[in-house]
Structure 1
Amino acid sequence: MTAQPSELITLGKITSVYGVRGWVKVYSYTDPMDRILDYQEWLLSRNGEQMKVVVDRGKSHGKGMIAHLQGVDDRNAAEALAGYEIAVPRSELPELPEGEYYWWQLEGMQVYTLKGVDLGRVSHLISAGSANDVLVVHSTRADDNQSERLIPWIWDEVIQAVDPDARRITVDWDPDF
């Protein structure tokens, strides 16, 4: 099975091995982190190579996750998977309630102030731990003295509106900040 990167969402990465029976350590990008185990089939990719694997067991372990993949039954086979990114087709992600968005849906949206000032395009988001997430907005205007802005994702206080169809986010934000 091969898929185009635009059809996939990266959910994590295999970082190393766990034990001698083929288990792998997984760094999960999902929230909560064990949600990665909701997907039984993963598409692993590294350096343009892709392979489909089936997760037959997995669990939280310490501050991370461990998983066992079908057919990976020894340490050597597990070591060969270290460094592979874990992805699933976007179509397999659950639908979110109204007003909630996956980060990938916000990436690329244009950001404007309440007064219509173009602040730029969402490059990516970062997690601030227990605080709110942060939009990283890169300016798209030549006359803008800010090449990058970090805008907190705080509904009603900063984030005023998200229009997925227009690919637009409206914020209450000072353009000079």
Structure 2
Amino acid sequence: MASQQSKLISDSDVTIVGKVTTAFGIKGWVKVHSFTDPMKGILDYKNWYLKVKGQWQSYKVIEAKPQGKGIVAKFDGIDDRDLALALSQVEISVLSSDLPQLAEDEFYWSQLVGLIVVNKNGELLGKIDHLFNSGAPHDVMSVKGYEGSLDQQERLIPYVDAVIGKIDLDAGEMQVDWEADF
């Protein structure tokens, strides 16, 4: 099962890299939806943290591998289907300090979620709710209206160099070349 943590792990200590979807078979394996790119990147981490009952708990991955179009994993101490099912829809994270260092102009999606988005006209378009791979050659940001934004409309903005301007993580802001009426 989960190992005991002498230090409580907080949301700011981890980066979400996937989620358990459901059980796989009867011996405690789980199906995993990976948020990493490439999908198999999640397999580079052997200690995963699962958010169980509101707290991040360490789970040791005994074995994990690609299976069909997804990934399956086996955790230490999860030995039957009922224990595996109890982890359904639980987020998987790794310690942020274990992630590879990025170049100065690169960002993890988790760093961008929550940034406010302002266009070159100074109009507040909203806040980044999530990013996703649309199947196109670029990722897409879902920017949703919030307090102070032009409106409450959701905008889908491509994450491409021609659109993305200055990103200031400290200020919590991203500038984009995107008209409000797009």
The normalised TM-score by structure 1 is 0.84
Pair 1:61 & 2:81 matched = no
Partner of 1:84: 90
State the Cα deviation string for residues 67-94 of structure 1 (Å, max 9, x = none). 1112333334333333322122222221
SS in 2 for 1:175: coil
**Does residue 1:28 correspond to 2:34, yes or no?**
yes
Deviation at 1:51, TM superposition (A): 2.9
The answer to whether the 8 A contact 1:146-1:176 is kept is no
Equivalent position to 1:120, from 126, 131, 135:
126
User: Could you tell me how far 1:42 is from its partner in structure 2?
Assistant: 1.3
Structure 1 spans left out of the alignment, 5+ residues: none
Instruction: Return the match for 2:167 from 135, 138, 162.
Output: 162
Q: What residue in structure 1 maps to residue 176 of structure 2?
A: 171
CA contact (8 A) 2:123 2:149 kept: no
Q: Match of 1:175, as an amino acid? A: A
1:101 is aligned, of 92, 102, 107, to: 107
Match in the other structure for 1:14: 20
1:123-165 residue CA offsets vs partner (Å, 9 max, x unmatched):
322321234222222335658245332211111x211332333
Bigger drift between 63-72 and 41-50 goes to 41-50
CA distance in 1, matches of 2:25, 2:149: 56
Amino acid at match of 2:81: R
Mapped to 1, the partners of 2:117 and 2:80 lie a distance apart of 49
**Residue correspondences, number:** 176
SS in 1 for 2:166: strand
Percent identity of the aligned residues? 43
Question: Partner letter of residue 11 of structure 1?
Answer: V
Distance 1:24 1:171, change over 3 A: same
1:120/1:20 CA distance change after superposition, 3 Å: closer
Q: TM-score, normalised by structure 2?
A: 0.82
**Is 1:127–1:133's contact at 8 Å kept on the other side of the alignment?**
yes
Distance 1:143 1:9 in 2: 27
